[in-house]
Structures are given as C-alpha cells and as structure tokens.
Amino acid sequence: MDTDARDPRPAGSPAAAVVHRLHECGETLATVESLTGGLLAAAIVEIAGVSSVYRGGMVVYATELKATLAGVPEGLLADRGPVDPDVAAALAEGGRQRCGADWGLATTGVAGPEPQDGKPVGLVYVAVAGPDGTGVRRLDLDGGRDHIRSAAVIEALRLLADRIQLPGDADAAEAAGAGHR
C-alpha cells in the first residue's frame, strides 16, 4: 500500500480534493510559499479545472520579501524571524488580500540541511486564512529536504480541506449534534 508524506493511509491527491471543494463552494484560493518554493502552487495547478478557483500565489523565499510582497509586519519578522506561527498566519492573510481570494494558504519553515536562526530542521508552519479567520498548524517533520518540503505541501492542503465547508455542511453537522459541546 502506498502512503502519503506522513501517515500510513492511502496516497491520494489532497490538491484535487481541495480544488473540488473550492469549486463546489464557489470560492477562490491564493498561496504564499517560503520553504516549499512553489511546490504548493505546482500541486494545485496540476489539477484540471483549477483556473476557476486558483487566483495565484507568491514565492517569498527571502525574509524581506515576506514583508514587501506578502505584507508580513516588519516588526514581527524582526522580533521572531520567518519561521513562526504568527508569520505563517500573516503570510496566509497577506496572500488572501493581495490576490483577492477567499482563502490564503501559506508555508514557512526549515527544510535543511542546516538549522536556521536557531530553528531545527523539520520545523514547519502551515497556515490558512479564510472567511472565518486564520488557522496555523505546527509540523515537526523528519527526513531529508525533499521529504520535508513535500510533506509541508500535503499538510497545508489538509489544513485547508479541514476548514472549507460545503454549502449545507454546517446544517448537517448541527443535525448530527456536532455543533453541541
């Protein structure tokens, strides 16, 4: 059995699932990437019919471009560096705003081979910004540079998939009692 980047579940196309859900919702997506360097955008645009949902994206590998192109506050970058959950959230929101999309999806982290600014290899943050706010997921990944970057793409897409609600999803969840805590 094939597995995905991290879990022993069948490999599939998380990008196709996200594109399909966005299409069903009539919503759009933008990406902002650091450590993945365009892999996230490439995974998304590989899906047929994506032009109806994907607005575009940015690769902001250099720290200063995270501020000038993606709108991350310079003070945040100066205080915490580029590998930080709040920076990831700001990247996602910046992409969303600058590309005029409903959703922004971002990646930042250390792919190696060496630690960066005291952050260990494999520390990655993926973030999503959408109509209901932002969410960030911390990943502590093992493996080489290629594996870390590929796993970050998959986990970013999973984070977005977890946040997108199809019309009627909230009603179905409420009817099932999921809305009660």
| CB-based burial label for 75 (10 Å; 0-12, 13-18, 19+) | exposed
pLDDT digits (tens, 9 = 90+) for 98-137: 999 999 999 999 999 999 999 999 999 999 999 999 999 9
Six-digit token string for 56: 């575009």
Which alpha helices (H) appear in the chain, and where do they start and end? 14-25, 39-45, 63-68, 74-80, 85-99, 145-163, 169-175
According to DSSP, the β-strands at 103-109 and 123-130 are: antiparallel
Bridge partners of 135, per DSSP, are 128
Q: Tokens 């205080």 — which residue? A: 79
Cα dist from 20 to 95, 115, 151, whole Å: 21, 37, 21
Cα pseudo-dihedral 22, 28, 32, 36, rounded to 10: 30
Q: Which residue has the higher pLDDT, 15 or 179?
A: 15
Kindly state the average pLDDT of the residues 5-29. 79
pLDDT band at 36 (very low <50, low <70, confident <90, very high): very high
Cα dist from 157 to 67, 79, 90, 106, whole Å: 24, 28, 17, 10
Domains of the chain (ranges, CATH numbers)? 14-166 (3.90.950.20)
pLDDT digits (tens, 9 = 90+) for 70-106: 999 999 999 999 999 999 999 999 999 999 999 999 9
Q: What type of residue is 127?
A: A
**Are 167 and 25 spatial neighbours (Cβ–Cβ below 8 Å)?**
yes
Name which of 4-13, 48-57, 160-169 the model is least confident about: 4-13
Nearest to 40 by CA among 135, 160, 157: 157
How many residues are present in the chain? 181
What is residue 168's predicted lDDT score, i.e. its pLDDT?
66
Sheet bearing 29-33, strands edge to edge: 54-59, 29-33, 103-109, 123-130, 133-140
